[in-house]
Structure 1
Amino acid sequence: MSDLTVWRDGNGEPIACVEKLRVLRENEAELRQAMQDAFEDAILMGVAPDEMRAHLMEMVSKLSEPGA
């Protein structure tokens, strides 16, 4: 993902609000760095790269929507 990411709402329409896009970009950058750091730490501690990737993907798949 990058600044070119097209973020869409529940109806499939692109998010156009500049402030919302700024927050989404910042969140994406912070998450990318945190995930990269956790990934590198795991590898340095002997976790197989594919194992860590699978764990990160599982964590994402278990995220719940607000109010759920």
Structure 2
Amino acid sequence: MTTPLDPPAAWPGADGAPLSCREKLKVLAENHREAAQVLRDAFEDAVLMGVDEAAMRRILAEMVAALPSPKRAA
């Protein structure tokens, strides 16, 4: 059984087809593991320090939603 903290079974490309380059898949899996660990740590720290769980989930989701696209011109 997979969870959202597990990397996706396939990484969709811009054209909708899954990426197949082994090196790209390796980097994406590593980035996913690192991001999942940082999010887990930040979430746990916040909740243990008294932040409301639902509020922290919302704060983390808003951070992700606000990430600028690297494709947009600065």
TM-score (norm 2): 0.85
Give the structure with the higher percent helix: 1
Number of positions where the alignment pairs a residue of Structure 1 with one of Structure 2: 68
Cα RMSD over matched residues? 1.3
Unaligned runs of 5+ in 1: none
Which of 26, 35, 41 is the aligned partner of 2:39? Answer: 35
Per the TM alignment, residue 5 of structure 1 is displaced from its structure 2 partner at its CA by: 2.2
* Percent of aligned positions that are identical: 46
Higher RCO (C-alpha 8 Å, min separation 6): 2
TM-score (norm 1): 0.92
Structure 1 segments (4+ residues) deviating >4 Å = none
CA distance in 1, matches of 2:8, 2:62: 26
